[in-house]
């Protein structure tokens, strides 16, 4: 299947936006804005189309390697503190999928916070710092300066004050030439930025294989794991269930792979839910539960950025819908829910009941049976699927090896 390059990139970038929603009370679009700045600099320097495309991707995702420790610092003191943690450079370097680049460009993310005078994380200096890394570093700093409300004169003064310590004189001069263009700052406006990013990307197509989908899953899972290892573990467990049940129902290879990917990504929308809600040890307030109920919508919104993941988007985002229309976020009923969506709902509930939660221990299997059968009686879940799931996993621990069964 063919997929547009922009859509693949944007799925990952939007997940980064979701992560920001949790601690910034909104989306800063740091990566997107920095990417536009880097592209404008590259155009001033007459980079080739391929170099511009690769620099755009690397800048867009340069802060994607947010580890748990870095994320905790960001929660406490805001985005800028990410610049003080080396781990996000190391992690980010390992996460960038080579399939997004025209050519392999090692160490660009790794050295994206080095400084000209050698005072960066790795002690590189001068021309020893890759040019792409220097541009990303400057673009990131300019973006943060812009977002603080500084005007063009103040931003240029900020860059010039870093000549010799952070930036080379040549790169600072290129930036001066770049920012003199009227369109430069207009493109960074929040109202314009998404359209500018899309229009700046050559919308070529490439073959989207399941191997590439797995790479994308790995990157998105890293974002989830950085925010909440608990949610990450739940999604991995649901995926294990999905793999077993797709074989039980004899799904063909394409259907099975798409279903397992949907299971891995079904809770990606929880990146938008504050940690204080996800980790809460007591009952949620109505307001808190209202926030939680939004997460499947954001799962759908994220995966709809692609034009080839239609089934994955649908199966992933409908896991809280119920046959009688009492679910969320869309209130769909049995007629509107595919077999796969109904199966995903059952597997999500089964995993949640049989695993430890912040507010309770895993439930005994007898109680799990009672709860799920009562949901069948209320017209919420598919009777056949519930029966098959309980039969499959109540006694067959080889089919579903999870910590709470194997301990």
Give tens-digit pLDDT for 245-256.
999 999 999 999
The winner for highest mean pLDDT among 2-11, 68-77, 353-362, 364-373 is: 364-373
Q: What are phi and psi of 207, to 5 degrees?
A: -75, 115
**Architecture in CATH of 209-406:** Orthogonal Bundle (1.10)
Q: How confident is the model at residue 373, as a pLDDT? A: 98
Nearest to 9 by CA among 64, 82, 86, 68: 64
Comparing 40-54, 85-99, 113-127, the range with the smallest average pLDDT is: 85-99
Q: Give the homologous superfamily in CATH for domain 30-189.
A: Hypothetical protein af1432 (1.10.3210.10)
CA atoms within 13 A on the CB side of 71: 23
Comparing 94-108, 297-311, 333-347, the range with the smallest average pLDDT is: 94-108
Give domain limits for the chain. 30-189, 209-406
Q: How confident is the model at residue 98, as a pLDDT? A: 66
Q: Computed over its alpha carbons, how large is the radius of gyration of the chain?
A: 23
> At 135, is the pLDDT very low, low, confident or very high (cuts 50, 70, 90)?
very high
Residue 401 above 70 pLDDT? Answer: no
Same fold, 30-189 and 209-406: yes
Query: Within 266-364, where are the H helices?
Result: 275-278, 286-292, 295-303, 310-317, 339-354
* Cα-based angle 5, 9, 57 (whole degrees, multiple of 5): 95
DSSP 188-256: TSTTTHHHHHHHHS---EEE--HHHHHHHHHHHHHHHHHH-HHHHHHHHHHHHHHHHHHHHTT--HHHH
| β-bridge partners, 2 | 207
| DSSP-derived 3-state class of residue 4 | strand
Distance between CA atoms of residues 200 and 13, nearest Å: 15
Q: How confident is the model at residue 200, as a pLDDT? A: 65
Comparing 95-109, 129-143, 173-187, 355-369, the range with the smallest average pLDDT is: 95-109
- Which residue has better confidence, 21 or 71? 21
Residue with tokens 């990303």: 136
DSSP 70-95: HHHHHHHH-GGGGGG-THHHHHHHHH
Q: How confident is the model at residue 185, as a pLDDT? A: 94
Quick one: CA torsion of 70, 71, 75, 80, rounded to 10 degrees? 50
pLDDT, mean of residues 103-114: 93
Comparing 17-31, 51-65, 141-155, 158-172, the range with the smallest average pLDDT is: 17-31
Comparing 128-137, 160-169, 213-222, the range with the smallest average pLDDT is: 213-222
Element of type H or E holding 2 = strand 2-4
Distance between CA atoms of residues 123 and 36, nearest Å: 27
User: Measuring CA to CA, how many Å separate 280 from each of 19, 276, 277, 292, 293?
Assistant: 18, 6, 5, 12, 15
> At 68, is the pLDDT very low, low, confident or very high (cuts 50, 70, 90)?
low
Assess contact for 102 and 53: CB atoms under 8 A. yes
Q: How confident is the model at residue 398, as a pLDDT? A: 46
Assess contact for 290 and 323: CB atoms under 8 A. no
Q: What is the mean pLDDT of the chain?
A: 87
Residue with tokens 């993941």: 309
Residue 281 above 80 pLDDT? Answer: yes
> At 149, is the pLDDT very low, low, confident or very high (cuts 50, 70, 90)?
very high
């Amino acid at each position: 299947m063919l997929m547009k390059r922009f859509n693949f990139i944007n799925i990952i970038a939007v997940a980064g936006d979701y992560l920001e929603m949790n601690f910034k009370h909104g989306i800063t679009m740091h990566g997107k804005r920095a990417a536009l700045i880097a592209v404008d600099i590259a155009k001033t320097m007459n980079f080739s189309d391929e170099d511009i495309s690769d620099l755009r991707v690397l800048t867009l995702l340069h802060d994607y390697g947010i580890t748990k420790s870095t994320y905790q610092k960001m929660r406490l003191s805001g985005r800028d503190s990410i610049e003080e943690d080396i781990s996000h450079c190391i992690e980010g370097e390992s996460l960038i999928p080579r399939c997004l680049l025209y050519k392999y460009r090692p160490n660009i993310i790794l050295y994206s916070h080095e400084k000209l005078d050698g005072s960066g994380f790795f002690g590189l200096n001068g021309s020893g710092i890759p040019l792409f890394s220097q541009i990303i570093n400057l673009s990131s700093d300019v973006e943060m300066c812009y977002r603080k409300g500084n005007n063009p004169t103040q931003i240029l003064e900020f860059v010039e004050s870093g000549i010799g310590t952070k930036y080379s004189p040549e790169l600072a001069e290129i930036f001066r030439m770049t920012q003199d263009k009227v369109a430069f700052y207009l493109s960074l406006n929040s109202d314009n930025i998404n359209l500018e990013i899309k229009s700046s990307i050559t919308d070529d197509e490439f073959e989207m294989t399941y191997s590439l989908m797995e790479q994308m899953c790995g990157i998105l899972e890293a974002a989830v794991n950085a925010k909440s290892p608990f949610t990450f573990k739940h999604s991995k467990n649901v995926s294990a269930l999905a793999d077993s049940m797709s074989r039980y129902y004899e799904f063909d290879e394409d259907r099975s792979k798409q279903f397992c990917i949907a299971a891995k990504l079904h809770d990606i929308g929880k990146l938008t839910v504050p940690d204080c809600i996800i980790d809460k040890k007591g009952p949620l307030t109505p307001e808190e539960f209202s926030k939680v109920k939004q997460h499947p919508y954001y799962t759908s919104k994220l995966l709809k950025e692609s034009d080839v993941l239609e089934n994955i988007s649908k199966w992933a985002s409908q896991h809280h819908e119920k046959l009688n229309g009492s679910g969320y976020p869309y209130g769909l009923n049995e007629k509107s829910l595919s077999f796969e969506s109904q199966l995903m709902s059952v597997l999500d509930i089964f995993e949640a009941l049989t695993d430890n939660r912040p507010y309770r221990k895993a439930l005994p299997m007898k109680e799990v049976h009672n709860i799920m059968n009562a949901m069948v009686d209320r017209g919420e879940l598919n009777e056949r699927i519930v029966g098959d799931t309980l039969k499959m996993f109540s006694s067959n621990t080889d089919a579903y090896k999870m910590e709470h069964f194997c301990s």
